[in-house]
Amino acid sequence: AQKVTQAQTEISVVEKEDVTLDCVYETRDTTYYLFWYKQPPSGELVFLIRRNSFDEQNEISGRYSWNFQKSTSSFNFTITASQVVDSAVYFCALSEPTTSGTYKYIFGTGTRLKVLA
């Protein structure tokens, strides 16, 4: 069965430090999508990135970067020069095909990031 593991429950860093959030997934599918979402204290899910299984290029967006490695089934997320506004819970998710042909997301348990001033 598909599974997403975020082993880090909570991470605290001091502002300006770099931080990496780990995500390891399990899937039988050859075609799948991986996602990262940010959930600030207000509760909404903020989309950060989607990656398909055929694109292993690392991606950088400002202070955010993602490292996708199929060989280790990992999709890690790095924030460079962290800021207090980065404090949130971050979820990694994997799309799973259903018997009806739609996709559902399997979420990890999330990593709570606290950035201290």
List of residues contacting another protein (CB under 8 A): 33, 37, 43-45, 47, 50, 91, 93, 95, 98-110
Least distance CB 93 / another protein (angstroms): 8
Report the distance separating Cα 97 and Cα 86, nearest Å: 31
Judged by beta carbon, residue 62 or residue 101, the one nearer another protein is: 101
Query: Contact, 81 vs 64, CB < 8 A?
Result: no
Q: Rounded to the nearest whole angstrom, what is the least distance from the CB of residue 81 to another protein in the complex?
A: 27
State in angstroms the smallest separation of the CB of 100 from another protein.
4
Smallest gap from Cβ 44 to another protein, in A, equals 4
Nearer to another protein, 5 or 80 (CB): 5
Residue 13 or 45 with smaller CB distance to another protein: 45
**For residues 57 and 98, which CB has a smaller minimum distance to another protein in the complex?**
98
